[in-house]
């Protein structure tokens, strides 16, 4: 038994090393295909669509508990607040819908996006604040209840729609932002010397104390999420902040360039998976 475990661990290291090598030499779409192939080989029993459910795709016990929680979703209050905030608009006599000029249900699938005018990645949160500033309203704090409620509401409207994040191949700045996010993802940091890749690719499915580490594939689909241990809904960047802190490194600013580029890379890796946010996690 011990020999089998030892061989399996070395196999995971080998396949993981192949993934790092493959993405180092590839463009965004080749990266995504290698990413997907890795998880299909790692968890051959898991249908591709199930990765939208995060760790519940690979943990049956946790999945059963999650289904019970979803009967009375703890994030419903955020959906109500988000709907009210969306209808109220940013001020100045206009609406958020006028800023985005799109069906509200079709907004979330296209973020984050590269903003050629600003020369940087724009997330859904920064887009909402840009709308507010253009209408003379104050920007919302990125960890505020109103901002998180707005993104939860838009995610809910988009349930069942696939992520469609674009990295324009004719825009060098977009490719540079994507590569910056990829570098962040694979770089080790903190006193524990861990990277996102170490926990959510190589160690996906393994236990950390009593919890399994979820796969990176599909992680952005269900944010924002209600965290039971926190008793509140949090954003993807707040989860990034917590991960960086947990490896004993200094976290970056919410919606700062580092986290926006990381979100750009990570979301592109999950292109095609259906949005099912907001989610519920421990």
Would you name the residues annotated as active-site residues? 243
Residue pair 108/82 in contact by the 8 Å Cβ criterion: no
Q: Please provide the distance, in angstroms rounded to a whole number, between the alpha carbons at the two ends of the chain.
A: 32
**For residue 30, what are its two tokens?**
């080749």
Task: Report how far Cα 75 is from the mean position of its chain's Cα atoms.
Answer: 17
Helix 172-186 with 28-42: angle, nearest 10 deg: 30
Q: What is the spatial distance between Cα 138 and Cα 128, in angstroms, rounded to a whole number?
A: 11
The burial of 12, by beta-carbon neighbours within 10 Å (0-12 exposed, 13-18 middle, 19 or more buried), is given as middle
């Amino acid at each position: 038994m011990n020999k089998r475990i030892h061989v399996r661990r070395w196999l995971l290291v080998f396949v993981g090393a192949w993934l790092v090598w493959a993405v180092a030499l590839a463009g965004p779409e080749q990266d995504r295909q290698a990413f997907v192939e890795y998880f299909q080989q790692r968890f051959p029993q898991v249908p591709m669509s199930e990765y939208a459910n995060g760790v519940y795709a690979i943990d049956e016990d946790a999945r059963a508990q999650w289904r019970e929680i979803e009967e009375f979703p703890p994030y419903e209050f955020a959906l109500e607040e988000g709907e009210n905030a969306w209808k109220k608009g940013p001020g100045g006599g206009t609406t958020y819908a006028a800023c985005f000029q799109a069906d509200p249900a079709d907004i979330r699938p296209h973020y984050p996006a590269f903003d050629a005018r600003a020369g940087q990645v724009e997330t859904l949160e920064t887009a909402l604040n840009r709308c507010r500033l253009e209408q003379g309203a104050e920007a919302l704090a990125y960890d505020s209840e109103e901002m998180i409620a707005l993104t939860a509401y838009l995610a809910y409207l988009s349930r069942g729609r696939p992520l469609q994040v674009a990295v324009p191949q004719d825009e060098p700045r977009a490719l540079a932002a994507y590569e910056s996010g990829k570098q962040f993802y694979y770089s080790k940091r903190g006193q524990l010397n861990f990277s996102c890749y170490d926990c959510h690719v190589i160690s996906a499915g393994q236990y950390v104390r009593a919890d399994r580490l979820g796969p990176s594939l599909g992680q952005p689909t269900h944010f924002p999420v209600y965290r039971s241990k926190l008793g509140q809904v949090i954003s993807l960047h707040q989860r990034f902040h917590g991960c960086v802190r947990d490896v004993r490194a200094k976290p970056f600013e919410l919606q700062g360039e580092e986290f926006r580029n990381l979100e750009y890379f990570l979301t592109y890796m999950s292109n095609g998976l259906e949005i099912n946010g907001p989610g519920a996690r421990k």
